């Protein structure tokens, strides 16, 4: 087995790794650290839990000169939570060299962050919006930045930050070294890499820690109008020590939180429309165990890596097998068993079967007190019987979605929740709206064909919705 010393790391970094208890490199660290130490650009496809922060963070710390107070390295993150998490890790890695990273993010006083940068931040970890804001105020200068990392690039895409990322990269020196890490590689991320990375080394690593063979997996078929009652029934029956309930939208997350709270449950919500102080408070309460049930969107739950979670409930069927594995991989940790229950509407049976096939797993029907032995991924899976084909209408299973462009964006103060609320008010089911992305001057979203209005009203603006031509 390769050691950190064999990867070419210096003694101060090796001592720091010893301080934090790291023994041997993970696969992505073993593959990414040598080319990064050589000065190569790197594209790493890896999910949370693979050790990617150390994969880019250790070479980053090697490249920084502690005697030079200029900004030498920038790490861009999509969320405040990830920004804080990465900063804490880098601070540990750089402790023996005397390097103290500066975290910059929205929701905190910008003057404090400006003062930290003036005092000498050789390494800056920041959310995209706050980094761009500090650059525009001339508080953050990139002319000496020779190492740039894009962490969770696909999340930046989903949140509509890619245009701002392009601006930041265009302001950095052309001679810099760039590392891009992303759980998935959509075409937009590939094109970004083609434009801004030079002859990159490609690394693809699966998340070893997100195994699901210690998780009992169930599905519960329920009609849309009965899902909320079914959720309360499942939670009351399962009595989880700690559970995360995943919902697809911010609006749905808030609705479920209110419903469960009204039923007397100790529950909190976590989504992007909450103030940052509220989000921090919720995360602290859940991580400490004071709150047993958390209802959250996928993006808001980034950074929640808690070994005591016993249950994951997918209130909405995940959009892909990768998302499914990532969600339920949050339970069944550290030798414990976990339970995952996915709610399936009649029209979503094929989506569930796709998850079973592509994630190589088996999902059993849920009933009160149901138990099932978690099956290893390699075990053959019997085909689950479904209703006869003629009992299903094509419309239930092959809904056609169209991509629309909204003629307003962040510049106009429009947020994803605003568009979803406007469309819901026009008669659309909020759960039918998907892939909402807010960009600087416009927004993109998908809705069932023929169901979208031509114009919606958002915060006093009349916003046109037009089909995107291919």
For 344-371, write each residue's pLDDT tens digit: 988 888 888 888 887 778 889 998 766 6
> Cα(122)–Cα(181) distance, rounded to whole angstroms?
21
State residue 250's pLDDT score.
Answer: 84
State residue 130's pLDDT score.
Answer: 93
Instruction: List pLDDT tens digits, range 130-165.
Output: 999 999 999 999 999 999 999 989 888 877 889 999
Q: Please classify residue 118 by burial: count the beta carbons closer than 10 Å to its beta carbon, then call 0-12 exposed, 13-18 middle and 19+ buried.
A: exposed
CA end-to-end span of the chain, whole Å? Answer: 50
Average pLDDT over every residue of 59-87: 90
In the structure encoding, which two tokens stand for residue 116, read together? 């930290």
State residue 396's pLDDT score.
Answer: 34
Task: Using pLDDT thresholds of 50, 70 and 90, give the confidence band for residue 22.
Answer: confident
Angstrom CA distances, 293 to 236, 245, 299, 304, 311, stand at 11, 7, 17, 13, 9
> Cα(386)–Cα(388) distance, rounded to whole angstroms?
6
CA 175 to chain centre: 30
Instruction: List pLDDT tens digits, range 265-322.
Output: 999 998 877 776 787 788 878 877 888 999 988 765 665 666 678 899 999 888 777 7
State residue 347's pLDDT score.
Answer: 83
State residue 235's pLDDT score.
Answer: 93
> Cα(201)–Cα(198) distance, rounded to whole angstroms?
9
> Cα(37)–Cα(58) distance, rounded to whole angstroms?
9
State residue 60's pLDDT score.
Answer: 96
Q: Exposure string (b/e) for 424-443, b if CB count within 10 Å is 16 or more? A: beeebebbebeebbbbeebb
CATH code of 215-376, in short, is 3.40.50.300
Q: Is the pLDDT of residue 209 over 50?
A: no
What DSSP designation does 384 have? P
> Cα(448)–Cα(359) distance, rounded to whole angstroms?
27
Q: Where are the domains of the chain?
A: 5-204, 215-376, 399-467
What residues are paired with 127 via a beta bridge?
A: 77
> Cα(283)–Cα(295) distance, rounded to whole angstroms?
11
- Same-fold call for 5-204 versus 215-376: yes
Q: Is the pLDDT of residue 90 over 80?
A: yes
In the structure encoding, which two tokens stand for residue 455, read together? 């114009």
Kindly report whether the global pTM for this prediction surpasses the value 0.75: no
Cβ atoms 265, 235 nearer than 8 A: yes
What is the average pLDDT value for the chain, to the nearest integer? 82
CATH code of 5-204, in short, is 3.40.50.300
């Amino acid at each position: 087995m390769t050691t950190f010393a064999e990867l070419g790391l210096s003694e101060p970094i090796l001592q720091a790794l010893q301080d934090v208890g790291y023994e041997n490199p993970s696969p992505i660290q073993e593959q990414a650290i040598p080319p990064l130490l050589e000065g190569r650009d790197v594209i790493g496809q890896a999910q949370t839990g693979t050790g990617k922060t150390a994969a880019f963070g250790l070479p980053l710390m090697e490249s920084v000169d502690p005697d030079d107070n200029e900004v030498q390295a920038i790490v861009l993150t999509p969320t405040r939570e990830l920004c804080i998490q990465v900063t804490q890790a880098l601070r540990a890695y750089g402790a023996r060299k005397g390097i103290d990273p500066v975290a910059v993010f929205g929701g905190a006083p910008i003057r404090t962050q400006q003062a930290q940068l003036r005092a000498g931040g050789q390494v800056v970890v920041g959310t995209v919006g706050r980094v761009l804001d500090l650059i525009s105020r001339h508080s953050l200068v990139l002319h000496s930045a020779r190492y740039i990392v894009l962490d969770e690039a696909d999340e930046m895409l989903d949140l509509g930050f890619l245009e701002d990322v392009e601006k930041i990269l265009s302001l950095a020196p052309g001679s810099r070294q760039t590392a891009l890490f992303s759980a998935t590689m959509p075409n937009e991320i590939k094109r970004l890499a083609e434009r801004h990375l030079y002859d990159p080394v490609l690394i693809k690593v699966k998340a070893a820690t997100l195994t699901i063979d210690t998780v009992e997996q169930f599905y519960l078929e329920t009609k849309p109008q009965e899902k909320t009652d079914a959720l309360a029934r499942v939670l009351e029956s399962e009595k989880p020590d700690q559970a995360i309930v995943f919902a697809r939208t911010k609006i749905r997350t808030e609705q479920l939180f209110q419903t469960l709270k009204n039923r007397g449950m100790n529950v909190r919500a976590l989504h992007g429309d909450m103030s940052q102080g509220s989000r921090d408070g919720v995360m602290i309460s859940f991580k400490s165990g004071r709150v047993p049930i958390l209802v959250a969107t996928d993006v808001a739950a980034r950074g929640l890596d808690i070994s005591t979670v016993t249950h994951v409930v997918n209130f909405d069927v995940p959009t892909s097998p990768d998302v499914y594995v990532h969600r339920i991989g949050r339970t069944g940790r550290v030798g414990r068993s976990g339970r995952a229950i996915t709610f399936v509407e009649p029209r979503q049976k094929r989506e569930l079967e796709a998850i079973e096939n592509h994630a190589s797993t088996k999902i059993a029907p849920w009933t009160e007190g149901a138990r099932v032995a978690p099956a290893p991924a390699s075990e053959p899976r019997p085909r689950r019987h479904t209703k006869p084909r003629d009992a299903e209408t094509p419309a239930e299973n092959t809904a056609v979605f169209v991509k629309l462009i909204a003629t307003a964006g962040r510049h106009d103060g429009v947020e994803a929740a605003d568009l979803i609320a406007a469309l819901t008010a026009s008669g659309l089911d909020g759960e039918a709206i998907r892939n909402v992305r807010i960009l600087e001057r416009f927004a993109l979203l998908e809705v069932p064909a023929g169901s979208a209005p031509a114009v919606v009203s958002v915060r006093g603006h009349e916003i046109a919705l037009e089909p995107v031509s291919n």
